Amino acid sequence: MAGTQALRGAEGKSGWKAWRRARVKMLGLGTLKLLAKLYARQGKVPDLAIIPNEHFPFVAELEANWQAIRAELEPILRDRETIPHLDKISPDQARISHSQKWRAYFLFGMGEELAGNTQRCPRTAELLRKVPGLRSAWFSILGPRYKLKRHRGITKGVLRAHLGLIVPRDWPNCRMNVDGEVVRWREGKCFVFDDARLHHVVNGTDEERVILLFDFDRPMRWPASMLNRWAMALLKRTAFYRDARKNLKRHARARGADPARDAAIADAMQRVGD
């Protein structure tokens, strides 16, 4: 079973490349699993599925400014056809999403600011720069009547936050289950969760759900904090990162977009998820 899962996303590769990719992935996941135990022990926040906002002072300011963030989002949504679908760019995301109902507009990727996009969202970018250890940030756009399969992030060294911006009126039927704990989005409300735990998303409404999604380093003591920085640097060298980069460049050529900007956006794809 593990071997089968490791081969997902390797479709279209030669037999040798598919085998090599599967072996590298299994080795990497094994290493990250061992590191996860250390991260949990040396974390400065509770090892919970949903971590209380009181541990993250920057959350209050994001919630207080959610309407300003939404105002910057609205012009972007009017041009939504230029926003890429995740399953067409990241091979790893094809495991959980096989429909053109999930888009992302990137602001930060793997610690790098995408200046072409943040210029359109200056207040949002200003607030995100205050998040300690920010890795990636994007507007995540999930279509109506759609589900994302059960999945987990690849490292416990990074936490994920969701800030509700556009939530369906029938909000109780738009939810996420994180390791058995159900949470629902509300406009102007933020929650932080452990992306390394199994979770899945259901939008059982007739309306779109849009959030500001961002990843940041789990607060940890040394040496776990140092090991996490090394692990994240190595992740950028994986096939999943490189394949996403190539696919996004192909998307840029098809759309006539700025290749330099979209090459930077591709850097964010290494940890895409919802």
How many domains does the chain divide into? 1
Phi, psi for 198 (deg, rounded to 5):
-60, 135
User: Does residue 209 fall inside a structural domain?
Assistant: yes
**pLDDT at residue 67 is higher than 80:** yes
Q: How far apart are CA 116 and CA 133, in angstroms?
A: 21
What's this model's pTM, rounded to 2 decimal places? 0.80
Q: How far apart are CA 258 and CA 141, in angstroms?
A: 22
User: Does residue 87 fall inside a structural domain?
Assistant: yes
**pLDDT at residue 169 is higher than 70:** yes
Average pLDDT over residues 195-213: 96
User: Does residue 250 fall inside a structural domain?
Assistant: yes
- Write out the E strands in the chain: 50-51, 102-109, 112-113, 134-142, 146-151, 158-166, 174-178, 181-184, 190-193, 199-203, 209-217
Q: How far apart are CA 242 and CA 238, in angstroms?
A: 6
What is the SS3 assignment for 267?
helix
Task: Express each pLDDT in 43-53 by its tens digit.
Answer: 999 999 999 99
User: Does residue 241 fall inside a structural domain?
Assistant: yes
Task: Express each pLDDT in 254-265 by its tens digit.
Answer: 444 554 554 544
User: Does residue 24 fall inside a structural domain?
Assistant: yes
Closest among 170, 171, 211 to 70, alpha carbons compared: 211
Task: Express each pLDDT in 3-26 by its tens digit.
Answer: 333 334 444 456 666 555 555 555
User: Does residue 216 fall inside a structural domain?
Assistant: yes
Residue entry with tokens 């997902």: 8
User: Does residue 140 fall inside a structural domain?
Assistant: yes
Give me the domain span that covers residue 104.
16-271
Q: What is the CATH number of the domain that holds 26?
A: 2.60.120.330
- Is residue 8 left, alpha or beta, with left meaning phi > 0 and alpha meaning psi from -120 to 50? beta
Q: How far apart are CA 71 and CA 6, in angstroms?
A: 41
User: Does residue 142 fall inside a structural domain?
Assistant: yes
